[in-house]
Chain A
Amino acid sequence: MLELIDVAKHYNGAIALAPTRLRVPRGETTVLIGPSGCGKSTLLRIVVGLVAPDSGRVVFDGETLGPANVRRLRARMGYVIQEGGLFPHMTVRANVTLMARQLGWDRARIETRLETLLALVHFPPALLDRYPLELSGGERQRVSLMRALMLDPDLLLLDEPLGALDPMIRYDLQQELKSIFTQLGKTVLLVTHDLAEAAHFAHTVALMRDGAIVQRGPMQQLVRAPADAFVEKFIAAQRMALEPLRERV
């Protein structure tokens, strides 16, 4: 579905992304994980075309991404960021349907799609005419997800989609998101720094450090056979935070 071939990016001489290869298989959820500054967001932004790579290429469903086709291909990608990135001057309805209206969808088609999405993400229709500032953080991320799904994209790109939510809402949305991914059978590339979240979503995990993927595979593989000391430490650090609590419970 998506393949990165030796994609690299520098910012002012510093490496943001070393030449990287990554295959994202169709219908699977691939999670990019790693400490902040490891290049996982840069990788995602290169895929959606917000950042141009210095070298290498991104192949999406057989086409190499470039200035000529990026806008067309973006219609087949849904992109969700941490704070939602909703347009504050537009209602929920306008935010979600913006691109479809831009592409000239007819009213009935827009309405049908909207109803499907409302049901899918459990968003109350009564809130459709609210503005983003009138919504809670969790509601906003549901809207952001609806907006990303509106055109029924082949690929979903999510950059810390639940990062700004408080833990209870975050837990609920994790459950819902996973069931949405499963229901729709979408190809998903998700960025998080949270190991539990990665374990929850991922068919495949890619652990990154200093602009490079250090290990890639199913979560169990990373846990059982860490490729190097960093992988071991990264996993151990997050498990240690949880285990003392478990003993007390």
Chain B
Amino acid sequence: MSRRARAIRAAERPEGARRWAIVGAVLALGLVAAAHVPAAADESVRIGSKKFTESVILGEMARLLVQSAGHAVEHRRELGGTRVLWGALLAGEIDVYPEYTGTLLKEILAGERLVDEVALVDALARRELRMTPPLGFNNTYALGVSRALAERLGLRRISDLRAHPDLVLGFGNEFLNRADGWPGLKRRYRLPQRDVRGLDHDLAYRGIASGALDVIDLYTTDAEIGYYDLVALEDDLGFFPAYDAVLLYRADLEHRAPGAVEALKRLAGRIDAPTMARLNARVKLEREPEADVAADFLAGALGIESTIAARGPWERLWRHTREHLVLVAVSLGAAILVAVPLGVWAALRPRAGHLILAAAGVIQTIPSLALFVFMIPLLGIGGPPAAVALFLYSLLPIVRNTHAGLTDIPAPIRESAEALGLPRAAQLRLIELPLAGRSILAGIKTSAVINVGTATLAALIGAGGYGQPILTGIRLDDVGLILQGAVPAAVLALLVQGLFGLAERLVVPRGLRIKALDAR
């Protein structure tokens, strides 16, 4: 073939179409790969835990026990607060999680005014749920103050707080809002304090150590009570109920995984409060992995030897990276597939365009954390709801830039295409989309970078990713662990940015990247 003929053949291909085809293929590959990442096998038993240390340790124990009974088991750690775990259990997203009787009676099922544990068992049975006998410790709430303050003000009982309205109170967000937490306590004791701050339970200890807070809520098995030399004030009016630890599980577990429930019940009555406090301390203060602490206890108390597949830091990093990438790839890919056509539609139909842009804008104003939490009642926990939230969050920049890129095309160029007699679809494909390519790509880049950052919040609803070590790091007050999530997330964001720089060379036609000669 002569050089000229080859050149003509190259020219015959619609300009830019090849580049878009490459980008499309890469995108499709990403989606296919994401779809093939194995989901958790349906047959395995799924344990959940709340996002505090004791719950994670108990979750690990449950995992090792079910494993010892010969079943495949998975522990979805630190899924969130009480509501998330309860919802996940009801929805069948998890089979087991550690809970406290007081929380069941006074918070989760408070509306039913259950009088005793018999009524509680009935109420659970109506929901196809059961619980093990109490594990042996009562982890009730208490209010804690530093020993120095207690001595200076003579504080021994919660009633003593009434005389000191200026004290600064800092409570975990859950305690602050629960019926059996601050609202009820304040009413019962007629406490006058006004300065009440909500914060993460684990950060509250640092607050009281630094003197920023005077009174915080404690779990009586918290390891930090001794460590920070705090005094737990006596609940002299008997407000706090007993919070006996139990394992809640779905009734169908008994035939789905024969022997698993029997294994879980072996914990009944085996953990007393000092033991639990010591286990908590080993994780929080001595930085031992929860799995090791749980396995040691089971070996000592129940004679169950378990081999713990020690996960190296690289393996963990790879897992978080994979989870994070899947979240970003799926949500961003779907957002591109939806938002680009939406943007095109908005540009072609100005009236619909106003609506589309406004709707995408409204979604963007929802705080990202709230958007994740909204997904729980709709889609449960884990990867899918997180991907949907990220997808919604990624729409606006792409829609807006697609719309802007198309409407910014100069009228003479648009009219030339029309006057040539090009069909409307060909105008869009051959002229308008290539010319808007740079703007569309910039929108996708913005979405991608936001997406990578926002995906760290997905760990809050059990989707894992780089947010997981950040979450655990906050719980354990471990800056190193926080960095294990924050640094890779930042690196990934930079990488994505660089990748789009390369993509721009592919998508933006050469004719638009060169400098005009007119300046000569």
Q: Which residues 480-520 of B have a CB within 8 angstroms of A?
A: 509-512, 514-518
Q: Given contacts A87-B431, A98-B430, is CB(A79)–CB(B514) below 8 Å?
A: no
Structural contact, A102 and B422, CB atoms closer than 8 A: yes
A132 touches B511 (CB 8 A): yes
Q: How far is the CA of A131 from the CA of B435 in the complex (A)?
A: 14
The CA of A74 and the CA of B412, in the complex, are separated in Å by 16
With a CB–CB cut-off of 8 A, which chain A residues contact B514?
A: 131, 133-134
What is the CB-to-nearest-CB distance from A85 to chain B, in angstroms, rounded to a whole number?
Answer: 3
B11 close to chain A: CB less than 8 A: yes
Closest Cβ–Cβ distance, residue B369 to chain A (whole Å): 42
Interface pair B416/A85, CB less than 8 Å apart: yes
Q: Using an 8 Å CB-CB cutoff, how does the interface string of A120-152 with B read, 1 for contact, 0 for none? A: 000000000101111111000000000100000
Give A87's nearest chain B residue, CB to CB. B431
Contact of A90 among B5, B12, B421, B511 (CB under 8 A): B511
* B420: chain A residues within 8 A (beta carbon): 74, 79, 98-99, 147
In the complex, A107 has a CB within 8 A of chain B: yes
Would you call A214 an interface residue if the criterion is a C-beta within 8 Å of the partner chain's C-beta atoms?
Answer: no
Report the bound CA distance from A111 to B3 in whole Å. Answer: 13
Query: Hey, what's the 0/1 contact readout for B423-461 against A, CB within 8 Å counting as 1?
Result: 100100011001100000000000000000000000000
* Interface presence of A66 (CB below 8 A): no
A88 within 8 Å of B (CB atoms): yes
The verdict on A94 contacting B518 (CB below 8 Å), with A71-B421, A87-B417 known, is no
Name the CB-closest residue of B to A153: B421
Contacting residues, chain A, for B11 (C-beta < 8 A): 91, 93-94, 97, 101
Instruction: Flag if B412 contacts A99 (CB, 8 Å).
Output: no
Docked CA distance A86–B413 (Å): 7
What is the distance, in angstroms, from A180's C-beta to the closest C-beta of chain B? 19
Using a Cβ–Cβ cut-off of 8 Å, how many residues does chain A contribute to the interface with B?
38
Q: In whole Å, how far is B520's beta carbon from the nearest beta carbon of chain A?
A: 8
Q: Which residues of B contact A110 (CB under 8 A)?
A: 8, 12
Tally of chain B residues near chain A (CB < 8 A):
35
B435–A89 touching, CB < 8 Å: yes
Instruction: Flag whether A118 is at the interface (Cβ < 8 A).
Output: no
A107 touches B511 (CB 8 A): no
List chain A residues, Cβ under 8 A from B423: 71, 102
Q: How far is the CA of A137 from the CA of B518 in the complex (A)?
A: 8
Within 8 A of B (CB), among A63-107: 71-72, 74-75, 77, 79, 81, 83-91, 93-94, 97-99, 101-102, 107
Complex-state Cα separation, A111 to B7, whole angstroms: 11
Whether, in the assembled complex, B415 has its beta carbon less than 8 Å from a beta carbon of chain A, the answer is: yes
Measured in the bound complex, the distance between the Cα atoms of B11 and A72 in whole Å is: 24
Residues of A within 8 A of B422 (CB): 98-99, 102
Report how far A77 CA is from B422 CA in the complex, Å: 13
Question: Does A202 sit within 8 A of B, measured CB to CB?
Answer: no
In the complex, chain B residues whose CB is within 8 Å of the CB of A101: 11-12, 14
Contact for A88 among B7, B8, B415, B511, CB less than 8 A? B511
A48 within 8 A of B: yes
Contact of A88 with B515 at beta-carbon distance under 8 Å, contacts A71-B423, A81-B415, A99-B420 already known: no
B517 and A87 form a contact (CB under 8 A): no
Report the bound CA distance from A81 to B422 in whole Å: 17
List, in ascending order, chain A residues with CB within 8 A of B515's CB.
133
Residue of chain A at shortest CB distance from B423: A71
A97 CA / B15 CA spacing, docked (Å) = 12
Are B426 and A83 in contact, with the CB atoms below 8 A? Answer: no
* Minimum C-beta distance from A86 to chain B (A): 7
| Cβ–Cβ < 8 Å partners of B413 in chain A | 85-88
Closest-CB distance, B221 to chain A (whole angstroms): 67
Indicate if B419 sits at the interface (CB-CB under 8 A).
Answer: yes
When distances are taken between beta carbons in the complex, the residues of chain B under 8 Å from A97 are 11-12
CA distance A242 to B419 in the complex (A): 36
Q: Is the CB of A86 within 8 A of B434?
A: no
What's the nearest-Cβ distance from chain B to residue A129, in Å? 7
B418 at the interface (CB under 8 A from A): yes
Is B421 a contact of A94 with CB atoms below 8 Å? no
Given contact pairs A111-B8, A137-B518, A90 touches B416 in the complex (Cβ within 8 A): no
29 A-B pairs within 8 Å (CB atoms) are namely: A49-B419, A72-B421, A74-B421, A77-B419, A79-B419, A81-B415, A83-B412, A86-B413, A87-B413, A87-B511, A88-B509, A88-B512, A89-B15, A89-B511, A89-B512, A90-B511, A91-B15, A93-B8, A94-B11, A98-B420, A102-B423, A107-B12, A111-B5, A129-B7, A131-B510, A131-B511, A133-B518, A137-B518, A147-B420
Given contacts A88-B413, A94-B11, A134-B517, 14 further A-B contacts (CB under 8 A): A79-B416, A79-B419, A79-B420, A85-B419, A89-B509, A90-B511, A91-B11, A91-B511, A93-B11, A97-B11, A99-B420, A99-B421, A133-B515, A147-B420
Residues of A at under 8 Å CB distance from B?
48-50, 71-72, 74-75, 77, 79, 81, 83-91, 93-94, 97-99, 101-102, 107, 110-111, 129, 131-137, 147
B contacts, CB < 8 Å to A:
4-5, 7-9, 11-12, 14-16, 412-413, 415-423, 426, 430-431, 434-435, 509-512, 514-518
Which 5 residue pairs spanning A and B have beta carbons closest together?
A85-B416, A74-B421, A89-B509, A131-B511, A79-B419
